[in-house]
Amino acid sequence: MVPRILVTGANGFVGRQTVETLLRLDCEVHATGRTQEVSFGCPWHRADLHDAGDRQRLIEKVRPSHLVHLAWETTHGGYWESPENRVWLESSRELFMLFRNFGGKRIVAAGSCAEYEWGSGVYSEDQTPLHPRSAYGIHKNNLRQFLEDQRFAFAWGRLFYLYGPGEKKERLVPSIILPLLHGREAVVDSPDRILDLLHVRDAGEAFARLVFCDSVGAFNIASGVGVSIRTVAQRIAEQVGSKTEIRWGTALRSGSDQMVADISRMVGVGWKPTLELRQGLMELVRWWEGQRK
C-alpha cells in the first residue's frame, strides 16, 4: 500500500527538499503551509496549524498514514527565545493526537541540536545529555518527550547546521557569499569555531529515509564531519574568485565551539550524506549568482 504522507512546513527551507525527495520516491504526498499554494506537483493544503478548525479539517481531509512535521518558528535570530515556541509545542501536540485519532501510523518530526547539553564536542543520541538552554531547544525537546510518553511510532530528526539554496540571507553561509559576490568585505565572526555542516538536499533525503524505516527515537541529521568557519569562508572565497579580503571578527564564546554529530544511527537506517562540502558550496555560489539575474 502506497503511504499517504502529509508534510507540514512544506514551503520552508527543509520542507521543500523533503517534499521533492518524497515525490521522487513515488509516494502520495500532501503538502501544507499557511501561504498560498506552492507548486510541487502534489496537492497543497493551505492551513494555519495553530487554528483548531484548520487542524481538524486538514487531517480529516487528507487522513495521512505518515506525518512529516517540519513546521515551527524560524524567524532568524528571534526564534531562540520567541514565545511562538510554546505555541508551536501546543499546536503540534494537538496535531499529533488528531493524526492518531484518524488512523495515522508514523510521525517523523524535526528536532534540533539545541536540545543537547552543549560543550561535549561530539554529540551522540545515546550518550550526550539533553539539557537545552534556549526556549527553542526546551520546547523541541518537550515535544519529543510527548511523543515518547504517548507511545507514538516516531522518528525525531535532530538537525545540526544546514546550508543550501533557499536559506535566509542572514544565515552563516549566505552572509559570507553575498558580500563577496558584490565585491564587499565579508566579516566572519568566530572563525575557529568548528561546526557540522550538511547540505539541505541531504537533510531532505534523511527525513524521507526516516519515513520508511521502522526504527524509533532520535537521529542526528548532519554530515558527521567538523569544519571551521574559517575554512568555510576560505572555500567560499575560492569559489567566488573574490579579490576582496575577509575580515576575521571576534571569537564569540557560546559553549558550542565545537559541534560535530555522531551520525551512526542515520547510517544504520541506510542514509549517508552525498554532497561533499566543497561541491555543495560551489553549487550554492552558482545558485546565488543566479538570483542576481
Q: What is the DSSP string of 262-291?
A: --HHHHHTT----S-HHHHHHHHHHHHHHH
Per-residue pLDDT for 251 more than 80?
A: no
Q: How far is CA 93 from CA 71, 72, 255, in A?
A: 13, 13, 31
* Whether the Cβ atoms of residue 163 and residue 190 lie closer than 8 Å to each other: no
Residue 54 to residue 178: CA distance in whole angstroms: 39
CA R_g for the chain:
19
Residue 37 to residue 46: CA distance in whole angstroms: 7
At 165 the pLDDT is 96
Q: Range with the lowest mean pLDDT among 99-108, 171-180, 213-222, 248-257?
A: 248-257
The pLDDT tens digits of the residues spanning 146-205 come to 999 999 999 999 999 999 999 999 999 999 999 999 999 999 999 999 999 999 999 999
At 293 the pLDDT is 60
Confidence of residue 252 (pLDDT cuts 50, 70, 90): low
The pLDDT tens digits of the residues spanning 279-290 come to 999 999 999 999
pTM of the model: 0.95
For residues 239-253, give the mean pLDDT. 81
Select from 160, 156, 139, 163 the least CA-distant residue to 72. Answer: 139
Confidence of residue 230 (pLDDT cuts 50, 70, 90): very high
The pLDDT tens digits of the residues spanning 259-273 come to 999 999 999 999 999
HSE, CB side, 13 Å, CA atoms: give it for residue 191: 14
Residue 140 to residue 221: CA distance in whole angstroms: 15
- Average pLDDT value for the chain: 94
Select from 95, 93, 103, 220 the least CA-distant residue to 148. Answer: 93
Strands 121-123 and 259-261, sheet pairing: parallel
Confidence of residue 243 (pLDDT cuts 50, 70, 90): confident
**Percent of the chain at pLDDT exceeding 70:** 97
Strands 28-33 and 44-46, sheet pairing: parallel
Domains and their CATH numbers in the chain = 4-163+198-222+262-273 (3.40.50.720)
**Which carries the bigger pLDDT value, residue 251 or residue 10?**
10
Containing 28, the helix (H) or strand (E) segment is: strand 28-33
The pLDDT tens digits of the residues spanning 35-80 come to 877 777 899 999 999 999 999 999 999 999 999 999 999 998 899 9
Question: Could you count the other beta carbons within 10 Å of the beta carbon of residue 44?
Answer: 19
Q: How far is CA 225 from CA 38, 277, 278, in A?
A: 34, 10, 13
* Whether the Cβ atoms of residue 240 and residue 50 lie closer than 8 Å to each other: no
* Whether the Cβ atoms of residue 47 and residue 30 lie closer than 8 Å to each other: no
* Whether the Cβ atoms of residue 52 and residue 238 lie closer than 8 Å to each other: no
At 13 the pLDDT is 95
At 137 the pLDDT is 97
Cell of 172: 552563516
At 54 the pLDDT is 98
At 254 the pLDDT is 60
